[in-house]
Structure 1
Amino acid sequence: MKANTIITISRQYGSQGREVGQELANRLGIPYYDRDLITLAAKESGFSEDLFDQLDRRATNSFLYSLTMFGSAGINGLSLTDQLYVTQRNIIRDLAAKGSCVFVGRCADYILRKEPEIYNFFIKAPMEKRLEHAKDDPKVPEATKETLEKLDKQRSAYYNFYTGQIWGNAANYDMCLDSGVLGVSKVVDMILEYIDIAQKE
């Protein structure tokens, strides 16, 4: 694998995209970044991690939502959701500049789109498989079809607003893979094979 290879994973909720990212990073021996970016963003901004965590869970493009839920527009004229995005964007760029790594979510595919060695993947799965995995997530109080669809809509709204692209659109990714059919390890195998072939061209 070439130096400064960046891998991004976008995913439907419950499709095991996080597990794919973690296994990729483990196999390659490179850093993995996901929710820990919230901690970094909170430390850099001076806001509480709990506040950023709430904003992240309710990923939204609404300025009024930030005002209603948190009573403040943040600083520098930015809503709190905007400030979270900007802070995470800067952290993602700094981490990518340090070397090869794997990012899950956070609009990293768009933020790092100008990197020469970036590979973007979207992980999906059938609803029944997603529900099985979501039941093991303590952060999801009730794993239902409606809950997962709502979570996906929130991710889509956040991504579409900050990137101007369409979340889940195959044209935005190198590959879209079904973890429900392939399983995590086979998805990782295919991603690594794709990157190997692409870097040899």
Structure 2
Amino acid sequence: MHVEQLVLRRVMQWEEQAKRTPRLGGVAQQPVITISRNCGAHGHEVGQRVAQRLGLNLYDRELVEQIAEHAQVREKVVESLDDRLRDRISNWVGEQFESCYFSYSDYLRNLSRVVLTIAEQERAVIVGRGAHLMLQPERTLRVRIQAPLELRIERLVTERGLSEREARAEVLRVDAERAAFVRRHFAQDVALSDHYDLLLNTAALDDDLCADLVAEAFRRRFGS
């Protein structure tokens, strides 16, 4: 489905939900799951399974980036909020830049607005793009999916048909890009355990078990 069609469908869902259960003033961000991951650790696969188990929408890196980078689509998302919530998001994003918690860039400003709008509108699973550093920790289950380097290389060989050399280069490249993104925009170490509530190793726990653990932790913390 084209991103504009998907966004339009989501916005319509949000509008219908707002009609059925209007939100009270001062209500905090919706509970959200964020997933950070190493390349080849199966973070996206775990995220898909978590979303299925909880009946939530999944926003992966590609979708979030497309929304953030396309002005018309981005504005559809942000305009779905009432004025009070839009102002709150704009003020918060501005404060992060002014305090130097975030590095200034139009891209990051737009990305932050999109991620925060999603979190205001619905319970969701958001994969990547530093979302765990943008959202309220008390309303977010922050998950890190990891696995040993050699296993991740082996997975890329098996799943993508790469040579061992190609797979190693790809894993190291993607890991470095993700670490650089978080360091450049948030001045943080993407692997720092203090930023996560759950760290799961897919060498010891398969994707389904990881998804079960994340889903159960979310239910216990925020209710069904």
Q: Structure 2 length normalisation: TM-score? A: 0.65
Paired residue for 1:22? 48
Residues 125 and 180 of structure 1 are in contact (CA less than 8 Å); yes or no, is this contact kept in structure 2?
A: yes
Deviations 1:135-176 (A, max 9, x none): 434899x63323312221111111122222211111110011
| 1:160–1:167 Cα contact (<8 Å) kept | yes
Q: Which amino acid aligns with 2:32?
A: I
Q: SS where residue 141 of structure 2 aligns?
A: strand
From the superposition, tell whether residues 39 and 138 of structure 1 become closer, same or farther in structure 2 (CA, over 3 Å). Answer: farther
Distance 1:36 1:126, change over 3 A: same
Tell me if structure 2 keeps the 8 A contact 1:7–1:102: yes
CA RMSD after TM alignment: 2.7
Question: Contact 1:16 / 1:133 at 8 angstroms: preserved in 2?
Answer: no
Q: Secondary structure at the match of 1:180?
A: coil
- Aligned residue identity for 1:36: L
Aligned with residue 168 of structure 2, among 132, 145, 154: 145
1:186 CA displacement: 0.5
> Could you report, residue by residue, the CA deviation over 1:15-47 in whole angstroms, capped at 9, with x for unpaired residues?
00001111111111111101112221232179x
SS at match of 2:204: helix
Q: Percent identity?
A: 25
Gaps of 5+ in 2: 1-28, 74-103
**C-alpha deviation, 1:14, in angstroms:** 0.7
In structure 2, the CA distance between the partners of 1:83 and 1:134, relative to structure 1 (3 Å rule), is: farther
Unaligned 5+ segments in structure 1 are 47-80
Match of residue 97 from structure 2? none
Within the alignment, does 1:120 sit opposite 2:160 as a pair? no
Q: How many residues align?
A: 163
The amino acid that maps onto 1:179 is T
What is the 5 A alignment of 1:1-201?
Answer: 4-34=30-60, 35-44=62-71, 82-112=105-135, 114=136, 116-135=138-157, 136-137=159-160, 143-199=166-222
Q: Is the 8 A contact 2:47 2:125 kept in 1?
A: yes
**3-state SS of the aligned residue for 1:166?**
coil
Shift, 1:182, TM fit: 0.5
Distance 1:192 1:96, change over 3 A: same
Greater helix share, structure number: 2
- Choose 1 or 2 for highest CA Rg: 2
CA distance in 1, matches of 2:222, 2:115: 23
CA 1:197–1:166 in 2, change beyond 3 Å: closer, same or farther?
same
TM-score by length of 1: 0.71
Equivalent residues of 1:45, 1:87 under 8 A apart: no
Residue type matched to 1:94 in 2?
T
